[in-house]
């Protein structure tokens, strides 16, 4: 958890929505100088803070609408802080809750140096990262359609398919597998959407790969050196991490990837675990997937996995391998070196 502790003359907390935003500006003594609901536009914001531009810092909760405000503050030379939504528990506490109270709480947290920061992803790679996330969302929808076809066959106790149906040539004559007309129509809808996905997704992947070579080709090449890291996994790691230097220690990187198990401890006693959703879900998926593909046609990795399974069990062994790969990725990107198998297995 990183707190913003710099001192300023004016502190502006914003409860930001899609069409409106509530501003609360405090001075160094905590006096409310402005408390107003305005339209969520650049002109309205700049007009509202015009009298307080002298040493002003702006804070907003990390929700889906913060992009334009962060870019505006960067252009105008205004300090900007992105508050971590899950760490800002003071926003969700209290007897009453509304936009005015929320904006004041954000400003008070900012003034007191207790607002937990989220990473302000720079605009140069932000749109491509969001495009990659959209691609992953569509790929999961495609997987759901394939699973629905397979579940439909099981639902009617039909014989299993002769081949996997992930590729188009494996789905030839699939409709004849279902004798009922209405069931065949349902499966036909799934196949039509899958075929449309198969046409769009490869073009999208080629475009994102070309963007990655223009953004950080060296880091992309380093990530491709890991066994089993084909194309999508290195792209996800590249765009979700952006700059490995923002993690001073490897432990912070593993925590950001949701690959550690946080504990609730007091007086030397552990009372359970919490905070498992704090971090980057996309990186957690990427390293979990990489741990699986890393084992394919890799005898040394399979031997390591077997040792981990005997000691920790099957599920935990894969999680340990994912964390180990994330640790190796951190040092690869930090030092600019390709994956070293001998060093990876020496532990």
- Within a domain: 117: no
Whether 338 and 248 map to the same domain: the answer is yes
Q: Which of 79, 112, 145 is the last residue of a domain?
A: 112
Contacting residues for 327 by C-beta, under 8 A, at least 6 apart: 250, 253, 254
Please indicate, yes or no, whether residues 50 and 22 belong to a single structural domain of this protein: yes
Per-chain mean pLDDT for the chain: 93
Q: Are residues 34 and 98 in the same domain?
A: yes
Percent of the residues in the chain that have a pLDDT greater than 70, as a whole number? 98
240-290 tens-digit pLDDT: 999 999 999 999 999 999 998 888 888 888 887 777 788 999 999 999 999
Last residue of a domain, one of 62, 78, 112: 112
Torsion angle of C-alpha atoms 218, 223, 229, 234, degrees rounded to 10? -80
pLDDT digits (tens, 9 = 90+) for 153-204: 999 999 999 889 999 999 999 999 999 999 999 999 999 999 999 999 999 9
Q: What is the pLDDT of residue 1?
A: 78
Does a structural domain hold residue 2? no
Residues 239 and 335 in one domain: yes
pLDDT digits (tens, 9 = 90+) for 58-86: 999 998 899 999 999 999 999 999 999 88
In a domain, 4, yes or no: no
Instruction: Give tens-digit pLDDT for 215-244.
Output: 988 999 999 999 999 889 999 999 999 999
Evaluate whether residue 245 is within a structural domain: yes
Q: Are residues 247 and 335 in the same domain?
A: yes
Mean pLDDT value of segment 32-52: 97
* Res. 91 pLDDT band, cuts 50 70 90: low
Residue-level pLDDT at 90: 57
| Cα atoms found within 13 Å of the Cα of residue 164, Cβ hemisphere only | 3
User: Using H for helix, E for strand and C for coil, what is the string for 62-107?
Assistant: CCCCCHHHHHHHHHHCCEEEEECCCCCHHHHCCCCCCHHHHHHHHH
Q: Are residues 90 and 179 in the same domain?
A: no
Q: Residue 137 in 3-state DSSP?
A: helix
202 and 267 part of one domain: no
Helices 123-155 and 181-224: angle between axes, nearest 10 degrees? 140
pTM of the model: 0.88
- End of a domain among 174, 202, 221? 221
For 21, phi and psi rounded to 5 degrees? -150, 140
Residue 283 is assigned to a structural domain of this protein = yes
Q: Are residues 302 and 204 in the same domain?
A: no
Question: Taken in order 273, 277, 279, 285, is the CA torsion positive or negative?
Answer: positive
* Residue 5 domain-assigned (yes or no): no
Query: Tell me, what CATH number does 97's domain have?
Result: 3.30.420.40
Rounded to whole angstroms, the Cα distance separating 111 from 208 reads 40
Which residues, at least 6 apart from 258, have a Cβ–Cβ distance to it below 8 Å? 276, 277, 278, 279, 280, 281, 283, 284
Angle separating helix axes 232-241 and 281-294, nearest 10 degrees: 150
Say yes or no: 237 and 340 in one domain.
Answer: yes
Q: Give the chain's domain count.
A: 3
Q: Count Cβ atoms below 10 Å from residue 139 Cβ, excluding itself.
A: 15
pLDDT at 347: 64
Structure tokens of 40? 């969520």
Q: What is the arithmetic mean of pLDDT over 314-329?
A: 94
Sign, Cα dihedral of 119, 124, 127, 133:
negative
Whether 227 is in a domain gets the answer no
Q: Domain containing 299: what range?
A: 232-345
Asked if 252 and 339 sit in the same domain, the reply is: yes
User: Do 252 and 192 lie in a common domain?
Assistant: no
Same domain membership, residue 267 and residue 201: no
In a domain, 102, yes or no: yes
């Amino acid at each position: 958890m990183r707190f913003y502790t710099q001192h300023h003359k004016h502190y502006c907390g914003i409860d930001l929505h899609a069409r409106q935003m509530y501003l609360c500006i405090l001075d160094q003594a905590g006096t409310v100088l402005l408390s107003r609901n305005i339209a969520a536009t650049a002109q309205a914001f700049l007009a509202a803070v015009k009298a307080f531009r002298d040493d002003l810092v702006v804070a907003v909760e990390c929700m889906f609408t913060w992009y334009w405000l962060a870019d505006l503050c960067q252009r105008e030379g205004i300090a900007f802080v992105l508050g971590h939504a899950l760490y800002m528990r003071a926003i969700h506490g209290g007897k009453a809750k509304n936009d005015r109270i929320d904006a004041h709480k954000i400003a008070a947290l900012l003034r007191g140096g207790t607002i937990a920061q989220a990473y302000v992803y720079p605009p140069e790679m932000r749109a491509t990262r969001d495009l990659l996330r959209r691609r992953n969302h569509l790929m999961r929808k495609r997987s759901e359609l394939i699973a629905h076809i397979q579940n439909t066959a099981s639902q009617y106790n039909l014989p299993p398919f002769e081949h996997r149906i992930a590729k188009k040539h494996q789905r030839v004559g699939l409709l004849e597998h279902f004798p009922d007309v209405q069931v065949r129509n349902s499966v036909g809808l799934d196949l039509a959407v899958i075929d449309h996905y198969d046409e769009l997704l490869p073009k999208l992947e080629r475009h994102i790969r070309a963007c990655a070579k223009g953004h950080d080709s060296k880091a992309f090449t380093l990530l491709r050196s890991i066994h089993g890291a084909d194309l999508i996994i290195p792209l996800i790691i590249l765009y979700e991490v952006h700059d490995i230097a923002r993690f001073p220690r490897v432990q912070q990187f593993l925590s950001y990837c949701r690959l550690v198990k946080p504990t609730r401890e007091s007086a030397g006693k552990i009372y359970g675990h919490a905070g498992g959703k704090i971090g980057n879900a996309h990186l957690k998926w990427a390293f979990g997937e990489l741990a699986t593909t890393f084992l394919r046609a890799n005898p040394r990795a399979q031997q390591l996995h077997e040792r981990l399974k005997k000691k920790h069990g099957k599920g935990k062994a894969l999680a340990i391998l994912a964390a180990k790969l994330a640790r190796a990725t951190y040092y690869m990107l930090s030092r600019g070196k390709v994956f070293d198998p001998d060093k990876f297995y020496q532990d």
